[in-house]
Amino acid sequence: MRTTVFSTPVLTPLLRVISILLLKLLGWKTRGEPLDHQRCVLIGAPHTSNWDFPLMLMVVLKLKLRVFWMGKHTLFPFPFGWFMKWLGGIPIDRTASHNVVNETVRQYAENDQLIVLIPPEGTRKKVTKWKTGFYHIANLAKVPILLGYVDASTREAGFADFYEPSGDVDKDMEEILAFYASKKGLNAENS
Rounded to whole angstroms, the Cα distance separating 109 from 93 reads 23
Per-residue pLDDT at 107 = 92
User: Is 128 a residue whose pLDDT tops 80?
Assistant: no
User: Is 96 a residue whose pLDDT tops 70?
Assistant: no
Q: What is the pLDDT of residues 154-179, one digit of tens each?
A: 999 999 999 999 999 999 999 999 99
Instruction: State the average pLDDT over residues 20-32.
Output: 97
Report the share of the chain in percent with pLDDT over 90.
Answer: 69
According to the per-residue pLDDT averaged within each range, which of 16-25, 68-77, 182-191 is highest? 16-25
Least confident of 14-18, 46-50, 85-89: 46-50
Q: Which of the two residues, 46 and 188, has the higher pLDDT score?
A: 46
Task: Indicate the average pLDDT of the chain.
Answer: 91
Query: 46 — phi, psi (to 5°)?
Result: -70, 140
Report the share of the chain in percent with pLDDT over 70.
Answer: 92
Least confident of 60-69, 84-93, 170-179: 84-93
Per-residue pLDDT at 127 = 63
Which of 127, 116, 91 has the alpha carbon at shortest distance from 39? 116
CA distances to 49, 52, 123, 182, 191 from 185, in Å: 8, 8, 13, 10, 5
